[in-house]
């Protein structure tokens, strides 16, 4: 079992070991939720709301019996469970949001692998103003839980799901989206060499993020057109829809879910990390899915770090491909289906 799934399991250890008891009429919020059968069993007697922004993790939660929520009601929950993400700023925002949702006397539970933030959780909980903090450890993970919070109002006001202006107000974005507060250099390299006029009627941005490349794509097409902006992170999809309202924003896992077909043009800057580990299989899957989504003769324009070995997959999936440019540690390919 991966460390992430271990942490999701250890998150509920205070409940399963009897250190904390949830009343049968308790209301529970589960942030960054992951499905596991033993977790579902641990929560079978209580009402559970949840949030999960990443589509591959959200899909297994359908039909579990929990209620997905888009916003967190203040002072609404007896317990809030947070499966802590690896990014420390995002982790703090999740914890702050969870604390805002707690009723007086409620308990905030947070868990992470020891090597991915578990060791700092107790200090973070104390910084939030928890007067009583406990912890348990198992499976190389730690769960820290606190109650009776006393903190400054400005901490509670920061919120988690609020868009923020970035790039001198050119875009709206949200913490937690990959590269959320800047223009990704690879995407900028790709934008520099994209055709000034894109003769396409049906196009897509695979892995759109907050919409930087999507906006470039739309600006170089002539109406009428249909552009799909697709990302596995719902926050990215929501922000892209705000930044580029002309597109159809889709929350989908590009690797495994059905995608638009008969496209003329695709741009993409595929991810190559899963957490902190490099995983080129994700980028290769993006290439294969792009090839299947394009009509014969359709074009893929993609950027990747120079060290990533995508040439073989491009040769396998496309009739032809060429390197357009290599600079600043990135390479741009054009491939024809």
Sign of dihedral through CA atoms 158, 161, 166, 171? negative
The answer on pLDDT for 103 being more than 70 is yes
Which residues, listed in sequence order, are joined to residue 110 by a DSSP beta bridge? Answer: 82, 144
Q: State the Cα–Cα distance between residues 198 and 300, nearest whole angstrom.
A: 12
- Domain ranges for the chain: 3-157, 164-336
Q: Say if residues 324 and 332 touch (Cβ distance below 8 Å).
A: yes
| Distances from the Cα of 5 to the Cα of 11, 57, 65, 86, angstroms | 10, 11, 20, 13
Specify the pLDDT at position 40. 87
Three-state DSSP class for 264?
Answer: strand
Rg (CA), the chain: 22
pLDDT digit string, tens, across residues 150-185: 764 545 444 456 799 999 999 999 988 989 999 999
pLDDT digit string, tens, across residues 212-243: 999 999 999 999 999 999 999 999 999 999 99
Task: Give the chain's mean pLDDT.
Answer: 92
Domain 164-336 grouped into CATH 3.40.50.150:
yes
Q: State the Cα–Cα distance between residues 92 and 200, nearest whole angstrom.
A: 43
pLDDT, greater one: 24 or 48 = 48
CA dihedral of 314, 318, 321, 324, whole degrees rounded to 10: -70
Q: What is the mean pLDDT of residues 300-314?
A: 96
Specify the pLDDT at position 88. 85
Q: What is the mean pLDDT of residues 313-318?
A: 98
Specify the pLDDT at position 128. 87
Three-state DSSP class for 220?
Answer: coil
For the 3-157 domain, the top CATH level (class) is alpha beta
Specify the pLDDT at position 42. 85
Q: Say if residues 335 and 316 touch (Cβ distance below 8 Å).
A: no
Going by pLDDT thresholds of 50, 70 and 90, the confidence category of residue 70 is: confident
For the chain, percent of residues with pLDDT exceeding 70 = 94
Percent of residues in the chain assigned helix, strand, coil, to nearest 5: 30, 35, 35
Specify the pLDDT at position 116. 87
């Amino acid at each position: 079992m991966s460390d992430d799934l271990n942490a999701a399991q250890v998150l509920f250890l205070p409940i399963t070991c009897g250190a904390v008891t949830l009343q049968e009429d308790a209301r529970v919020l589960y942030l960054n939720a992951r499905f596991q059968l033993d977790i579902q069993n641990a929560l079978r007697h209580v009402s559970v709301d949840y949030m999960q922004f990443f589509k591959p993790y959200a899909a297994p939660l359908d039909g579990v019996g929990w209620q997905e929520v888009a916003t967190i009601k203040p002072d609404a929950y007896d317990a809030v469970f947070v499966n802590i993400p690896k990014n420390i700023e995002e982790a703090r925002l999740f914890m702050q949001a969870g604390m805002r949702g707690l009723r007086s006397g409620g308990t905030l539970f947070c868990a992470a692998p020891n090597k991915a933030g578990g060791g700092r959780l107790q200090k973070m909980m104390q910084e939030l103003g928890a007067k009583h903090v406990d912890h348990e450890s198992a499976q190389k993970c730690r769960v820290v839980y606190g109650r009776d919070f006393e903190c400054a109002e400005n901490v509670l006001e920061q919120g988690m799901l609020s868009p923020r202006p970035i790039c001198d107000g050119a875009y709206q974005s949200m913490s937690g989206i990959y590269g959320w507060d800047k223009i990704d250099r690879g995407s900028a390299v790709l934008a520099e060499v994209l055709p000034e006029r894109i003769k396409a009627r049906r196009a897509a941005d695979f892995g759109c993020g907050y919409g930087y490349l999507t906006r470039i794509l739309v600006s170089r097409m002539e109406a009428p057109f249909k552009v799909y902006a697709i990302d596995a992170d719902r926050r990215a999809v929501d922000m892209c829809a705000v930044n580029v309202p002309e597109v159809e924003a889709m929350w989908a896992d590009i690797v495994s879910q059905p995608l638009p077909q008969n496209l003329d043009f695709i741009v993409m800057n595929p991810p190559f990390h899963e957490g902190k580990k490099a995983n080129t299989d994700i980028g290769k899957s993006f290439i294969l899915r792009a090839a299947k989504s394009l009509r014969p003769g359709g074009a893929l324009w993609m950027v990747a770090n120079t060290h990533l070995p995508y040439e073989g997959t491009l040769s396998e999936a496309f009739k032809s491909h060429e390197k357009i440019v290599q600079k600043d540690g990135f390479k741009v390919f054009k491939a024809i289906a």
